[in-house]
Chains A and B, each alone.
Chain A
């Protein structure tokens, strides 16, 4: 941040430094712990985790069954577990039902499989509009669904964390799980897109 922007006690960067200084000084956290957490959520924990879960569900019917009946355990099989994922419920998209996830009250999101939510998911516009006009929201994301498909919005108000299991794109029969995972976008696991969507919606 350039000096000529000015710094004041209201500057969140200033306040955060003060907070870190105090908490580290009191031995409540260590500097390297903070570094490690930032790195974990910037690099290691993200939608590529969920993409592997989805790809496995597409290629392994028994795993798909486990994923739908106990999302937390099935996701933990792949090594993903922890904060904001203590109770994961996976919502299956079908040709008849398209699921979308939101948290109208705050920003609840399944971190272990999707990482931290994008700013738009936490935005007032998404929180306010998707429960009321999901088709209009999907259209903004470039997706129009036929009227025959039920659009089902899930508002995460408890400690359940939802992830959408998107439909497997057509013409993917020959692909293995690793290749399929590259087709699973973050947006398709929130429900604002389909898997196999254009690269612009990939995480």
Chain B
């Protein structure tokens, strides 16, 4: 969706603020929420990103990073039926009434071991190739002009732009919302754009942008290949 989260190239955000000696988590609840998010073995179809992206723009901008995660986890778990909205609201009411209360401990070393093992395990996103990739490294391509209403991994700032295939990464499952459950995996490429292609004549000098693209985001380009900055080894 053409949402507020799709920020690449936006003006107006000012300097990048950095904190000296920044802690990993800025409050205890952030660490707990992070741990809950990565440990809870409940699959939410479509994942959590669409839930964050569909926050109303003002709420998206005003929520902190982990507040967005908190929203997505609660809504996602309710949507798949792992939690019931009434019980969530009731439990929140309990903790609101007694702010000193903490969740009771329930330890399970086997669960801990399983959780840590899962977090350490490499699960490649690459899938067997159902077809040949349509493009080869060096091919000129054009990004489609497309404005899906659901989740997509194609940001606005590259749509309709002309680039060149920089790398081929193999096949990955399409994450866009309009991908059906039987959608075959697609070739994923790193596509390279000259800065001037994206930002015009005022672009910074000698700059380029590479971005991962699923094949369905791309069309072949018959135009003269771009004279990109020569690649050095």
Identify the A interface with B (CB < 8 A): 1, 3, 7-9, 11-38, 40-42, 72, 76, 81-83, 85-87, 89, 94, 96-97, 104-107, 115-116, 118-120, 122-129, 131-137, 140-141, 147-160, 200
Contacts and interface: CB of A to CB of B under 8 A. Distances in A.
A85 B65 CA distance: 20
A114 to B, nearest CB: 12
A13 B101 CA distance: 11
A151 B24 CA distance: 29
Contacts of A87: 124-126, 169
A22 B123 contact: no
A36 B97 CA distance: 29
Given A118-B22, A132-B9, A140-B16, A30 B112 contact: yes
A107 B65 contact: yes
B229 A40 contact: no
Contact of A16 (B9, B70, B104, B192): B70
A122 to B, nearest CB: 5
A185 B183 CA distance: 41
Contacts of A106: 5, 49, 52
The 4 A-B pairs at the shortest CB distance, nearest first, are namely A104-B8, A159-B125, A30-B108, A158-B212
Interface size class of B (residues with CB under 8 A): 35 or more
A55 B134 CA distance: 38
A153 B166 CA distance: 13
B15 interface: yes
B39 A19 contact: no
Contact of A119 (B5, B22, B61, B107): B22
13 contacts: A17-B101, A18-B91, A28-B82, A37-B116, A37-B119, A38-B34, A38-B35, A106-B5, A115-B24, A141-B16, A152-B209, A155-B8, A158-B169
B208 A152 contact: yes
Contact of B153 (A9, A21, A157): A157
A150 B207 contact: yes
Interface in B32-76: 32-36, 38-42, 49, 52, 61, 64-67, 70, 73-74
A15 B70 contact: yes
Contacts of B157: 104, 131-132
Nearest to A76: B122
A96 B232 contact: yes
